[in-house]
Structure 1
Amino acid sequence: MLTSYYSKTKAGTPGAISISRSMPRWCNGKYPTYKALAPGTWYRSAEVDDYIPLYMEILQALDPQQVHDDLYRIAQENARSLGLPESEVAKVRPILLCFEKPSDFCHRRLAANWQESELQIEVPEGFRNPDGTYTTVPGWEQLQGQQFEGAIGNDVADQMAQAATQLSLLTL
């Protein structure tokens, strides 16, 4: 399992699953969805300090193993529907999608960290390559405190560090 964003992972990518409240208007095609991991109606208005505990309430109401199993089932059904041979279907990993770039705070990384914490697995940020391999990149929680060349300022880096700290405290 890994996380990514719509601009990087197009509809028709094996394993791609939307976990946002909506999908981009510009996408050509549809993504399978898993609404249980979508944020609440507050997602656009909540500040990071409020967003994390609100989203953790959603996650804490779910069974992490069931979510994991559901996501793998959806990813493999998606791969079959795209015509992948059965030998390749088993290799397909769920790719949890929302809108934000890897450097931006987002709920997909909160969901990933929850799965990591609850199931002792790794859920990196990344993408599926055309040859079926996967490439990982740092997510916002790994980028905390680092300088980005023109992408974000110190205020956002501080917010990301704060969010990562809050997340680790909430999952203890």
Structure 2
Amino acid sequence: MKIATSCWFEKLDPNVYVRIGISRGVPRGMAAGYRRYSKLNPGSWFNSVSPVRYKELYFYEILRPLDPNQVVAELLAMADGKAPALLCWEAPTPGPAWCHRGLVSAWLHDTLGLEVFEVGQEHQGAGWRHPKLAPELRQQKKPPPVR
């Protein structure tokens, strides 16, 4: 099973990916063929808090009530046998522009052990190393095992 993240404006191979929006809105003029999964949309605070506070709110208000197994099952059902690509607005390149899709990757890694990569940036990592996490939240190296 493969789930990926990307940006609304990235060209994705339609033979591989089904575009599923997890943003509060969709860009004007977006071509048909995408789907929406509003359960992962950020809250109304999405553009008004620090990255650390955003993480706290997103995990508490958005992710905590969800069953990750059910979320994955619903995303896979929406994808009709292809890989769901979870889309939001921020460009895929690493840098100061972070996005909640990195938090989704971290949540799915922590809860189900899934590695959800940014399309085209698989080498950057998944989970808490996902390139769209804010720098203060991102772990550059795998943490040591808990003993």
TM-score (norm 1): 0.66
Secondary structure of the 1:49 match is helix
- In structure 1, stretches of 5+ residues that fail to align are 77-89, 128-134, 145-158, 166-172
Q: Is 2:124 the partner of 1:124? A: no
Find the partner of 2:88 among 98, 104, 107.
Answer: 98
27-36 vs 54-63, greater mean Cα deviation: 27-36
User: Which one has the largest radius of gyration?
Assistant: 1
Secondary structure of the 1:24 match is coil
Q: Within 5 Å, which residues of 2 pair with 1:1-172?
A: 1-9=3-11, 14-29=17-32, 31-57=34-60, 58-76=62-80, 90=81, 92-102=82-92, 103=94, 104-126=97-119, 136=122, 138=124, 141-143=129-131, 160-164=134-138
Q: Is the 8 A contact 2:99 2:134 kept in 1?
A: no
2:19 alignment partner AA = A
Q: Is the 8 A contact 1:126 1:137 kept in 2?
A: no
Shift of 1:45: 1.1
Shift of 1:163: 2.0
Q: Is the 8 A contact 1:5 1:97 kept in 2?
A: yes
Separation in 2, partners of 1:53, 1:36: 17
TM-score (norm 2): 0.77
CA gap of 1:142–1:117, structure 2 versus 1, over 3 A, is: same
Q: Is the 8 A contact 1:18 1:96 kept in 2?
A: yes
Shift of 1:161: 2.8
RMSD over aligned CA atoms reads 2.6
What is aligned with 2:144? none
Shift of 1:9: 3.8
- In structure 2, stretches of 5+ residues that fail to align are 140-147
Q: Is the 8 A contact 2:6 2:118 kept in 1?
A: yes
Q: Is the 8 A contact 2:102 2:130 kept in 1?
A: no
Query: Aligned residues, how many?
Result: 130
